[in-house]
C-alpha cells in the first residue's frame, strides 16, 4: 500500500499568557492508503490538535507533514483550503449541515467549490446518498431527519469529492448506542470499498471498529498497534 500520510517530528505549541502549551511534540507516524485508523487519547492528549493538522485545518509549529505526496506543513490558508476540499472528507460530531438546505443540497456543496456543473453535482450527490442508504430522503431538510440520518448525510457529503481520506471527529458523539453501531457499520462498508478512514474518538468501543489504533498522551504517541479485536459487521 502507498503512504498517504507521513508526519515527521510534528510539534504544535501555543502561547497562553506567559505560558507555552506544548499540545503535540515530536509526533512521527505514517498511514497508508486504505487503512482504517483510530486516534485515541484522554482530554488534553493532543488528539484534537493532531486531527486539525492532518485535516489541514491548522499548521504545525515544527516538523513536516506530507499528505498524498505533497508537503503541506508551510502552506498558506487558501492553499490549505484547496487541499481540504480535494483531499479530505470531514465527518463531525455535530453534523455541520446547512439547516435550510435539503440533504441533496448539503451533499452537493463541496462540488460547488470544486467547480462541477450543476447536473454533474446532482448526479454525484444522488450516487453517494444512495450509497449511505438515504435515496428516499434526498429532499428532506436536516430538521426532518433523525440524528443517524443526519450523520449519514454528513458521511455522503464527506465522500462526494472522492477524497483521499475520510476524517471523522467523534462521529457518534451525539448519537444513541444503536444508531452509533449503525454509523460504525457504515464506516466499515466504506472502508471495504477502499477508502482511507481516520477516526478520532475517546470511546474504546468505537475505536475497536478500526484496524489500527494510535494512542496519544501528553502530546506524544503512547502506543501504535494493530487491533486484534475488530468489531465484526455481523
The pLDDT of residue 234 is 56
The DSSP string of 142-184 is GGGS-HHHHHHHHHHHHHTT--SEEEEESTTTTS-HHHHHHHH
Q: At residue 1, does pLDDT exceed 90?
A: no
Q: Specify if 8 maps to a domain.
A: no
Q: Specify if 18 maps to a domain.
A: no
Domain span including residue 51: 33-59+76-226
Q: Specify if 126 maps to a domain.
A: yes
Q: At residue 81, does pLDDT exceed 80?
A: yes
Q: How confident is the model at residue 118 (pLDDT cuts 50, 70, 90)?
A: confident
Using a CB cutoff of 8 Å and minimum separation of 24, what contacts does 119-128 make?
124/160, 125/156, 125/160, 128/156, 128/157, 128/159, 128/160
Q: Specify if 23 maps to a domain.
A: no
Averaged confidence pLDDT in the chain: 91
Q: Specify if 81 maps to a domain.
A: yes
* Sign, Cα dihedral of 129, 134, 136, 139: negative
Give tens-digit pLDDT for 18-30: 999 899 999 999 9
Q: Specify if 219 maps to a domain.
A: yes
Give tens-digit pLDDT for 174-186: 888 889 999 999 9
The CATH number assigned to the domain holding 178 equals: 3.40.50.300
Q: How many domains does the chain have?
A: 1
Q: Specify if 112 maps to a domain.
A: yes
Q: Specify if 68 maps to a domain.
A: no
Amino acid at each position: 500500500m502507498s503512504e498517504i500520510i507521513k508526519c515527521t517530528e510534528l510539534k504544535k505549541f501555543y502561547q497562553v499568557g506567559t505560558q507555552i502549551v506544548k499540545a503535540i511534540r515530536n509526533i512521527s507516524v505514517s498511514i497508508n492508503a486504505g487503512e482504517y485508523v483510530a486516534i485515541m487519547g484522554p482530554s488534553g492528549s493532543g488528539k484534537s490538535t493532531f486531527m486539525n493538522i492532518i485535516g489541514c485545518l491548522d499548521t504545525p509549529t515544527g516538523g513536516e507533514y506530507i499528505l498524498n505526496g505533497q508537503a503541506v506543513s508551510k502552506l498558506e490558508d487558501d492553499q490549505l483550503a484547496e487541499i481540504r476540499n480535494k483531499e479530505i472528507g470531514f465527518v463531525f460530531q455535530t453534523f455541520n449541515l446547512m439547516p435550510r438546505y435539503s440533504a441533496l443540497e448539503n451533499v452537493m456543496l463541496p462540488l460547488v467549490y470544486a467547480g462541477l456543473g450543476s447536473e454533474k453535482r446532482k448526479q454525484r450527490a444522488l450516487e453517494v446518498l444512495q450509497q449511505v442508504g438515504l435515496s428516499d430522503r434526498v429532499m428532506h431538510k436536516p430538521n426532518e431527519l433523525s440524528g443517524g440520518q443526519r450523520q449519514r448525510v454528513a458521511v455522503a457529503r464527506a465522500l462526494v469529492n472522492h477524497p483521499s481520506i475520510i476524517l471523522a471527529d467523534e462521529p457518534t458523539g451525539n448519537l444513541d448506542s444503536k444508531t452509533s453501531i449503525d454509523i460504525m457499520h457504515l464506516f466499515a462498508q466504506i472502508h471495504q470499498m477502499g477508502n482511507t478512514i481516520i477516526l478520532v474518538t475517546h470511546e474504546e468501543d468505537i475505536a475497536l471498529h478500526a484496524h489500527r489504533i494510535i494512542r496519544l498522551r501528553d502530546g506524544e504517541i503512547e502506543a501504535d498497534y494493530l487491533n486484534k479485536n475488530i468489531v465484526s459487521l455481523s
